Structure 1
Amino acid sequence: MEITRKNPNSFLTKTNGYLQGYSYSLNPYVGCSYGCHYCYVHKLPVALFKKKEWGTWVEIKDEKPNQFLGELKRAKKKGKVTIFMSSSTDPYQPLEAKELRTRRLLEVIAEMPPDFLFVQTRSPLVTRDIDIFQKLGDRVLVSITVETDRDDVRKIFSPKAPPIQARINALKKLNEENIPSQAAVSPVLPFSPNFTNLLRNATKRVCLDDFFLGDGSGGRRSQALGLSKLFSQIGEEEWFSPENIEYVKDLFLHVFAKDQLFISRQGFIPPDGSHEE
């Protein structure tokens, strides 16, 4: 793993495209040590410019004194501030345990809360910051990726990701502490018949997404990543289909109410009233 540091001109980046309803994205790092094989980011300019294998390098964004606080103040003067953290990295990847970059940014956010903050991760380390999330109340939603409950599948698609049970335990902890949170079954990977019940015991909200609705290109980007070969490798080719999302949705509706289940972009946009139309 190659670790470098940089001093960014800014931490907040204006958003467009898939991040509907957000005024800014916030990435504490560049690159991601998890290196999931299905991650769309390693085909984006931010990764291609590096010319190194995705998952083998991370840049830590170092902050100048009061830099982020100043950015946040200026953003709030311009109107509503809705932040997606993070769009091209995991804010709680292993480095965060030592670097505390995400924690430091969240401390500033708690001091000057935006209209809404969405936190996307696959790491149980997120529970470390429950104290800050509690200060934000309903201005935050913490989303933990749990694509499957099958460890054989995880080892094929995201071998460096945290253990599945640790993520489910993190969801339970957030739920017990009344932190607005959800399980992001995103992307949907082959799972066991008991998966829906496992999540039902851990969270009150689920978002489902697949390689066709969620990759921004109707599945072309996912095909280019060679994902169909990975599904074939485990003998689960039928799961790599645009029709599969309806089958999965029906399974989840057996244990979750309609207002607890969200599909693709619906599960990632800010709640009504917190974002500009």
Structure 2
Amino acid sequence: MAKPQYEGYCENTPTKLVREKFGDINVYDQNIKALLTKATGFIAAYDFTLNPYRGCQYGCSYCYAAAFSPNTKMRQDWGKWVIFKENAAEILEKELESWYKKNPKQSPKIYMSSVTDPYQPIESKYQLTRRLLGIMLDFFPTPTLVIQTRSPIITRDIDYLQRFQRLRINMSIPTGSESVRRDFEPQSPSIKARINAVKKIKQSIDPFKGFIPKISITITPLLPTLSDEEVIFIEKLRIADRVVIQDFHPSHNRSLVASTRQEAEEIKRKYAWWYDDENINYMKFKKKLISILEGVEIKEGKEGFSYE
């Protein structure tokens, strides 16, 4: 089957036209044949990954997911396009029906999402992630679900989230310094907004009326936090039951391989005071986490992304 040709990113006649402009983002729609993808590698502990969208508006400089763009031009323009999986809800329903027929007493373990943010800004309009959550809730036992996001939009769905018996929310906060965040991920929500989103989730769920989700703060990749803000940042992480740290992915130019983008490597030069002794600073930060966050689970890398 011929690969789709996206308007604005192809030399031939496009087969996928821009559905709309969302800010300065090109939005395309696409029908899919499968939504749940067998989980492998870093998140092999799950049965499936689930990505409602392809591409991500946040366009973080370091994001490894750019490697999985449809073509080289779109990889270079990461953060400027999103593909909306138009029939995702119908496909998910069929896939879960098939799973539960084969495994009537066992819920699937789903990681949402591995190469996009399910709560990027466009979700506020399309509400695709919300529809997918609603479909999952129609099955019993409900899937074991981990949601990876950096977006406060997730609080919109507290009414659904509290109905999952086994849910972990991973809120990505790679740095405690706004100036560093603006350098590495200028299109993403503020640190304060993310912390407040986690607080709202925890404060809004009555344990007598819903299930309290597990909460992780994922500091992945670990970016610098300015020295005068480090302890203040770490103190705020008490709201989580787990904190995960991880360094950068290796950098290379091969497609379809998770990799730190060149944009991030260039920004890192601004923070030579940290990256010239990256391993030492990583260990110092880890020790501070352990000493300050007594009672909070501190995990590294792959181990930190499990549900348990």
Query: What interval of TM-score do these two structures reach, taking the shorter chain for normalisation?
Result: 0.7 to 0.9
Q: Is the 8 A contact 2:59 2:187 kept in 1?
A: yes
**Matching residue within 30, 33, 54 for 1:9:** 33
How far has the Cα of 1:105 moved from its partner?
0.2
Query: Higher Cα Rg: structure 1 or 2?
Result: 2
Match of 2:156 in 1: 128
Q: Is the 8 A contact 2:174 2:222 kept in 1?
A: yes
**Matching residue within 146, 149, 155 for 2:176:** 149
Change in 2 beyond 3 A, CA 1:51/1:148: closer
Query: Does residue 211 of structure 1 match 2:252?
Result: no
* 2:58 aligned partner, one-letter code: Y
**Matching residue within 270, 274, 281 for 1:233:** 270
SS in 1 for 2:43: coil
Report the RMSD for the aligned CA atoms in angstroms: 2.6
Match of 1:274 in 2: none
Match of 1:74 in 2: 98
Deviation by residue 1:140-176 (Cα, 9 ceiling, x = unmatched): 1011101112111011100000111000001112232
Query: Does residue 268 of structure 1 match 2:305?
Result: yes
How far has the Cα of 1:252 moved from its partner?
0.4
Distance between the aligned counterparts of 2:282 and 2:86, measured in 1? 40
Q: Is the 8 A contact 1:231 1:239 kept in 2?
A: no
* Deviates further, 100-109 or 64-73: 64-73
Distance between the aligned counterparts of 2:100 and 2:82, measured in 1? 30
* 1:59 aligned partner, one-letter code: I
Identity %: 33
Gaps in structure 2 of 5+ consecutive residues: 1-24, 206-211, 253-257
Gaps in structure 1 of 5+ consecutive residues: 272-277
TM-score, normalization: structure 1?
0.86
Distance between the aligned counterparts of 2:53 and 2:267, measured in 1? 28
**What number of residue pairs does the alignment pair up?**
265
How far has the Cα of 1:212 moved from its partner?
4.8
* 1:195 aligned partner, one-letter code: F
Match of 1:275 in 2: none
Q: Is the 8 A contact 1:212 1:242 kept in 2?
A: no
Query: Does residue 195 of structure 1 match 2:233?
Result: yes
How far has the Cα of 1:89 moved from its partner?
0.4
Change in 2 beyond 3 A, CA 1:259/1:152: closer
